[in-house]
A and B are shown apart, each in its own frame.
Chain A
Amino acid sequence: EVQLVESGGNLVQPGGSLRLSCAASGFTSSDHYMDWVRQAPGKGLEWVGRTRNKANTYTSEYAASVRGRFTISRDDSKNSLYLQMNSLKIEDTAVYYCARAYYYGSGGSGSYPYYYMDVWGKGTTVTVSS
């Protein structure tokens, strides 16, 4: 069964750091783009960042709100994804989901690829508060 399980959420003070983990099973995560998405209490979904697959040298993209503070990394030996969060702010309080961004082929006669988040974990809760 294809599955993602997040862990590492906790209560942390403003300015602190936290590392979230996402363990993949049922597929090889290094073959896929992977995302982090968060949801603040009572709010909508916010994309946090994406790491490309091994074939694309694991380069990453980030939302402006976290760029320079958050870093996505991987450990292929553990089939896992991580989100290192530094300089945490109160507004980072949220449920954090990891998701697989599956390659659905290409559009425009092959000129651009389609990636969509097809498998999601259940999420882990991060609370930033003093």
Chain B
Amino acid sequence: AIQMTQSPSSLSASVGDRITITCRASQDIRNDLGWYQQKPGKAPKLLIYAASTLQSGVPSRFSGSGSDTDFTLTISSLQPEDFATYYCLQEYNYPLTFGGGTKVEIK
């Protein structure tokens, strides 16, 4: 199975900060990667698919980049509602695998 390694596992940031989360795949997955946001007690929400395409309705401060094995999720100006846990997911082959998650906390 493809291993997805996310870093950092957690970070503290302030409103207005620019933050970047990385996800590394154990093998080439082309650009078949999605990013999800999950708030406590809630279901995940799709933010980005195909590595860099913004899901409809998602604010433009979210962006994704990367291909092959290295991917990033960037939030250009952190808002109060962005404090959550973020997961990457490879859809390249089965079994689908999530990264371990990055918890974004208020500094």
Q: Is the interface of B mostly helix, strand, loop or mixed?
A: loop
A46 to B101, CA, bound (A): 11
- In this complex, the interface size class of chain B, counting residues with CB under 8 Å from chain A, is 20 to 34
- Segment touching A, from B16-24, B75-83, B87-95: B87-95
Given known A117-B44, A117-B46, A120-B45, contact A46–B31 (CB-CB < 8 A)? no
Contact with A along B19-49 (1 / 0, CB 8 A): 0000000000011101010100011111001
Give the Cβ gap from B48 to chain A, nearest Cβ, in Å. Answer: 9
Asked if B96 CB lies within 8 Å of chain A CBs, one says yes
Residues of B within 8 A of A112 (CB): 30, 32
Are B101 and A107 interface neighbours, CB within 8 A?
A: no
Interface status of A122 (Cβ within 8 A of chain B): yes
Cross-chain contact B49 with A44 (CB below 8 angstroms): no
A121 with B43: in contact, given A104-B50, A108-B30, A114-B32 (CB under 8 Å)? Answer: yes
Contacts of A47 in B (CB 8 A): 89, 95-98
Stretch among A11-19, A57-65, A76-84 lining the B interface = A57-65
Asked whether, in the complex, the Cβ of A114 is within 8 Å of the Cβ of B95, the reply is no
Complex interface: chain A residues within 8 A of B101 (CB): 44-45
| Cross-chain contact A44 with B98 (CB below 8 angstroms) | yes
User: In the complex, given contacts A47-B98, A97-B43, A112-B32, what are 19 additional A-B residue pairs having Cβ atoms less than 8 angstroms apart?
Assistant: A37-B44, A47-B89, A47-B96, A61-B95, A62-B95, A64-B1, A97-B44, A104-B50, A104-B53, A107-B32, A114-B50, A114-B91, A116-B34, A116-B91, A117-B34, A117-B44, A117-B46, A120-B43, A120-B44
Q: List 29 A-B contacts (CB under 8 A).
A: A37-B44, A44-B99, A44-B101, A45-B36, A45-B87, A47-B89, A47-B96, A47-B98, A62-B95, A97-B43, A97-B44, A99-B43, A104-B49, A104-B53, A107-B30, A108-B30, A112-B30, A112-B32, A114-B32, A114-B50, A116-B46, A116-B50, A116-B55, A117-B36, A117-B46, A118-B55, A120-B43, A120-B45, A121-B43
